[in-house]
A and B are shown apart, each in its own frame.
Chain A
Amino acid sequence: MVTQAILIPLLPLISFTMIIFFGKKLGTKSALIAIAASVGSCLLSASVVLPVILNHGTALHASLTWLMINGKPIEFGILVDPLSSVMLFVVTFVGSLIVIYSVGYMHNDPRFSRFFAYLSLFLFSMLGLVLSSTLVQMYFFWELVGLCSYFLIGFWFEKYEAAQAGRKAFITNRIGDVGFFLGIALFFYTTGTIRFIDITPEFMHPYANTAVLTFATILLFCGAIGKSAQVPLHVWLPDAMEGPTPVSALIHAATMVVAGVFMVARLWPVLETFPNASQTIAVVGTTTAFLGAFFAITQFDIKKVLAYSTISQLGFMITALGVGGMGAGTFHLMTHAFFKALLFLGAGSIIHGTGTQDMREMGGLRKAMPNTFWPLCIATIAIAGVPPLSGFWSKDEILTSAYLGNHRVIFWILMITAMMTSFYMFRLLFLTFAGKTRGHIHAHESPAVMTLPLAVLAIGSVLIGLPGSPFMGHWFQHFLEPHAAVHMDTFVMIMSVASATIGFIIAFICYFVKTDLPQHLAGQFWMFYDASRNKLWFDEIYNSTFIHAFKWISRISFRFDSNVIDRTVNEIGRKTVLTSRIKRWIDQYIVDGLVNFVGFSAQVSSGLLRMIQTGFVQNYLLFMVVGLLVMLLVAVK
């Protein structure tokens, strides 16, 4: 069992390694490797998840101690419990479909094989994150997932906006991750453990009133704010649409952005213990849900609409976790993965078929692209929350949790948000597929390799809600939370259906019947229109404050570096030259002088000694006289 669990992330890693090294030679065959790896992981996940379902609980926990701090171990391991099983299913299933879809979408790209390498690396990172048994390990894969996101967003890096978007995503994520890491450190310091298996309600109970841990929980949540695009760190997600659409589908809709939700769900016992923290989380989530929907209603880029929709739905999930519905939040995560992936892949199909992303140029595509239209239609109905499709069940669960938890304000805001959701989604549908084509586009249907995943996901969007519905006795929620009770409130259900219907009607009127009404309304409520269109100027405010300040700091640092440090280096260089010049002088005059002197003295002495033997008799006689003189001197003295 451990082998199978380890292989789940390992297969995509092997696929990544192979494609990275042999991609040029393999060419289009690298896609097959990636597909094989992801489908293999899917099948292995099924085999691993089965025991969990049968046991109604944790099936596998295996770990290795990496290091010890203060006598407490930091471990790396594998944890397969109900929550990670859900994630395994979602990631591998939806992931495989998207990998297959990418074969068609990235068909003519010059860096075809590298895309699949990155996709494989991402699957490895995400699966590693899902199977993590400790917070530290999760953080490790968290960062890795962020790195893959950077690679994939900036895949077409020749385009300036794409490179910028990748950088923005990574940096914004990192800001959240600072809080995440501090939270981990604080948590470890206070409780002495970071293993998920240790974090149970009984374990957390003694710490119930510690302010430190409340603060630590909020810090941990900061990671989710960054990764799951909550307000105020949501600004990277719309820009991330610069990446190829399969990337948007996989990472920024179905899997990576929900890592934050997954992490908060993992820390469920912690949230139960600290009501202040969960309150904060709920508020953040609700704000995000509302603002996301608010921005989505005026966007014209099809992918931007879906991006803000994702932000809004993530807000729903986080709110669910904040108000006490862990099962509801996770349920919505699963259903959202299906219909949001479907929406993105469908948008990708439209972009592939029409060549444009601007909805103002689209229209009347229903006839030209029927294989894309019907799945998208199903997805829109699902996300709007129309029963009996999956979206309804999950969204209803969230609303019920809010309502029954006495969070009235949150409940009504979510209700309005649900209405807005229905509105902008049907707006998208009508603008794209209904009426007559406005722009000069020639639409053609996408190939089967792209439309077949759409069909599969559409079936999934319909059926995936059933495990959590009353038709199956709320099996899903009981699977995740064996001890919690599941309630269904009639009032909430009726309100939920009503809001979806109202949204549909408004969209129908604006975009199907009276098509000049939107401009009229935009003119009337121009303040709201501008605020929505400009995303409440979040990017502009950040730019003029934080970014501006950091650029100033970096400019000063650069000047310091070039003046002080480079000057120091130059001075050292100059001193070295000076030293070498001195040494040259020493070498030339002193050393060479000594050597020359030795030769010179040899010459002189030999010259002197030479005179002893001149071959000249009278010189010898003179030397004899001198010798005589010496003897006389000696004798006389």
Chain B
Amino acid sequence: MHIPIDHILVFTSILFLIGLYGALSRRNAVGILISIEIMLNAVNVNFIAFSRSFASSPESGQIFVMFAIVLAAATAAVGLAIVLNIYRNQKTIYTDEIHLLKW
């Protein structure tokens, strides 16, 4: 089937912006991480769409996505570990209540 690439690109843009909106507006630290996952996924879809549509080196897009997924996993792991640590120390994960470094 032939889906025009710009549709997919528009879709990924919207998905990315949704994720961005979530990252900006969520109070909860875990919620922010979730939004970041959404953003990363949108970017991955973008890569796949491009790799499918252009003739030269189609596997590089997919390789990239692989790495992206792996790194996203690493990010999520470390990030959540940090959130857990903060929760243990401050008893809160709301970003506006964590302001030890603020004057």
Answer whether A622 and B101 are a contact pair too, CB < 8 Å, given A616-B95, A617-B95. no
Would you call B24 and A622 a contact (CB within 8 A)?
A: yes
Residue of A nearest to B17 (CB): A625
Asked if A614 is at the interface of the complex by the 8 Å CB criterion, the answer is yes
Note all chain A residues with C-beta closer than 8 A to B103.
615
| B102 within 8 Å of A (CB atoms) | yes
A618 touches B (CB below 8 Å): yes
A625 with B101, Cβ < 8 A, contacts A616-B96, A617-B95, A618-B95 known:
no
Does B99 lie within 8 Å of A621, measured CB to CB?
Answer: no
Total count of chain B residues near the partner, CB < 8 A:
12
Q: Is B38 an interface residue (CB 8 A)?
A: no
For residue A615, which residues in chain B have a CB less than 8 angstroms away from its CB? 99, 101-103
Least CB distance from B50 to A in Å reads 19
Count how many pairs of residues, one from A and one from B, have CB atoms less than 8 Å apart in the complex.
21
**CB closest chain-B residue, reference A617:** B95
A contacts with B: majority SS:
helix
Closest to B102 in A: A615
- Least distance between B32 CB and chain A CB atoms (Å): 8
Q: Of residues 1 to 42 in B, which have CB atoms within 8 Å of A's CB atoms?
A: 20, 23-26, 32
B102–A621 CB distance below 8 A: no
Known contacts A616-B95, A616-B96; is A621 also within 8 Å of B23 by CB? yes
Q: Complex: how many Å from CA A292 to CA B20?
A: 132
Question: Contact: A618 with B24, CB < 8 Å?
Answer: yes
Residue of B nearest to A622 (CB): B24
Across the interface, which residues of A come within 8 angstroms of B20, CB to CB? 625
Among A614, A618, A622: residue with most chain B CB under 10 A: A618
B92 to chain A, nearest CB (A): 14
| Chain B residue at minimal CB-CB distance from A610 | B103
Given contacts A614-B102, A616-B102, A618-B26, 8 further A-B contacts (CB under 8 A): A615-B101, A615-B103, A616-B96, A616-B99, A618-B24, A621-B23, A622-B24, A625-B24
Residues of B within 8 A of A (CB): 20, 23-26, 32, 95-96, 99, 101-103
By a beta-carbon cutoff of 8 Å, the part of chain A in contact with chain B is: 614-618, 621-622, 625
21 contacts between A and B (CB under 8 A): A614-B102, A615-B99, A615-B101, A615-B102, A615-B103, A616-B95, A616-B96, A616-B99, A616-B102, A617-B95, A618-B23, A618-B24, A618-B25, A618-B26, A618-B32, A618-B95, A621-B23, A621-B24, A622-B24, A625-B20, A625-B24
